[in-house]
Amino acid sequence: MLLYNSQVSGNCYKVRLLFAHLGVEYERREVDVADRSNRPELLGGLNPALRVPTLVLDGGRALGESGAILWLFGEGSRFVPSDAFERAQVLQWMFFEQYDHEPALAVARFWLRYSGRPREEYADRLPERTAAGYRALDALERHLDGRTWLVGDAMTLADIALYAYTHVADEGGFELDRYPAVRAWLDRVAAEPGHVPIDA
Amino acid sequence: MLLYNSQVSGNCYKVRLLFAHLGVEYERREVDVADRSNRPELLGGLNPALRVPTLVLDGGRALGESGAILWLFGEGSRFVPSDAFERAQVLQWMFFEQYDHEPALAVARFWLRYSGRPREEYADRLPERTAAGYRALDALERHLDGRTWLVGDAMTLADIALYAYTHVADEGGFELDRYPAVRAWLDRVAAEPGHVPIDA
């Protein structure tokens, strides 16, 4: 299998982290996250959104969207609950991540750290993303206060999906000091046997 | 069951449309989409994102995110394929909808039609959403050209999810004239036995 990958992308990291836990073998092809001019040539026909991660399976079938790739490999593993309601809760957090959390935390991080552009260029738009990011972190903190994992009593795809950009939130200018439950949960995810860091 | 609902919300319509197809019985409680001041009081503890749709099941368990609610009721029905790769493809389109399509088409529609604010207030931000919406529609057209449904050979949750805001794209200022495959697919979704319109 071939993973069109960006090493700094949290969305790609989700896939790499699950694959590490499951012992899935694959190759990587690194894709530029700042210069996207070759995306139609590279990913056209493979992923309607022309984004990474894009996974090409043995046999040539391709799949985009980190959440969909996680689901394909997570189903039947310990990372997807056997209970139907818990499965839906896992997806609730994965959709929350893509709608509320990632567009704030990941985009702020990209602008400030990986875009190669001066911060001033984003000055107009950054405050809105920062506020949205803190709202997402507030929601995460409220939910994790008193819980070990996001859903049920074991780590699931939801934890993998939310971990990816939360654990590098500081690169987008977010302070996690006021989120003790989030910080303890980040430590738990990182302490799971089989864990790999984002730069691995 | 109780659905916290907005009748004009495409995200809520997805749930209502699936429930109509499956004959699921539920009550609705209408939530204001413009004035969101009572959301913490209304939805706090039920949905971390404080958005509609939020579904409260018999017994009191609650679930947010249209995609998660669709999955809970779609699994085991004709709207979720039995093949694992096709299931992942359904989720690919549902994540594409929430990440690329909805934030463009639904937000432009909200600003122009349901916000109660003058168009000028959004003049700075509208062009970016309009461009993003057309990119999402282009991707949909390319994929649907030569296909009957988004995934496999039957209507799935992916079609329900993408139908919701595509069929009212004109309310956000989007012209569908140049998307013949999309328009034919919209007609097919609407012609399915059991279909209900957004205002039902």
Is A99 in Cβ contact with B68 (below 8 Å)? no
Residue A27 has pLDDT above 90, yes or no: yes
What are the chain A neighbours of B40 within 8 Å (beta carbons)? none
Three-state secondary-structure class, residue A13: helix
- Model confidence band, residue B24 (pLDDT cutoffs 50, 70, 90): very high
Residue B33 has pLDDT above 90, yes or no: no
Q: Are A22 and A73 in contact (CB under 8 A)?
A: yes
- What is the tens place of the pLDDT at every residue in A64-110? 999 999 999 999 999 999 999 999 999 999 999 999 999 999 999 99
* Side-by-side strand order, sheet with B2-5: B27-30, B2-5, B54-56, B62-64
Question: In percent, how much of chain B has pLDDT > 70?
Answer: 100
Residue B10 has pLDDT above 90, yes or no: yes
How far is the C-alpha of B58 from the C-alpha of B37, rounded, in Å? 27
Q: What is the DSSP string of A148-161?
A: SSSSTTS--HHHHH
What is the CB neighbour count within 10 angstroms for residue A122? Answer: 17
Q: Are B141 and B182 in contact (CB under 8 A)?
A: yes
Average pLDDT on A141-159 reads 98
How far is the C-alpha of A84 from the C-alpha of B61, rounded, in Å? 13
- What is the tens place of the pLDDT at every residue in A106-132? 999 999 999 999 999 999 999 999 999
Is A71 in Cβ contact with B63 (below 8 Å)? no
Residue A131 corresponds to which tokens in the numbers above? 């506020």
What are the chain B neighbours of A71 within 8 Å (beta carbons)? 87-88, 91
Amino acid at A160: I
Q: Are A5 and A46 in contact (CB under 8 A)?
A: no
Domains in chain B: ranges and CATH: 2-74 (3.40.30.10), 84-191 (1.20.1050.10)
What are the chain B neighbours of A95 within 8 Å (beta carbons)? 65-68, 94-95, 98
Residue B28 has pLDDT above 90, yes or no: yes
- Model confidence band, residue B34 (pLDDT cutoffs 50, 70, 90): confident
Question: In percent, how much of chain A has pLDDT > 90?
Answer: 98
Q: Is A48 on the interface with B (CB under 8 A)?
A: yes
* pLDDT at residue number A33: 87
* pLDDT at residue number A34: 86
- What is the tens place of the pLDDT at every residue in B145-189? 999 999 999 999 999 999 999 999 999 999 999 999 999 999 999
User: How far B153 CA sits from the closest chain A CA (Å)?
Assistant: 17
- Find residue B54's DSSP bridge partners: B4, B64
How far is the C-alpha of A150 from the C-alpha of A90, rounded, in Å? 8
- What is the tens place of the pLDDT at every residue in A162-172? 999 999 999 99
* pLDDT at residue number B98: 98
Average pLDDT on A45-72 reads 97
Compute and round to an integer the Cα radius of gyration of chain A. Answer: 17
- What is the tens place of the pLDDT at every residue in B125-149? 999 999 999 999 999 999 999 999 9
* Residues in contact with A55: Cβ distance below 8 Å, sequence separation at least 6, in sequence order: A1, A2, A3, A4, A15, A26, A62, A63, A64, A69
List the single best residue of A51, A54, A91 to mutate versus B (max B Cβ within 10 A): A91
Query: Longest Cα pair distance anywhere in chain B, in angstroms?
Result: 48
Q: Are B121 and B34 in contact (CB under 8 A)?
A: no
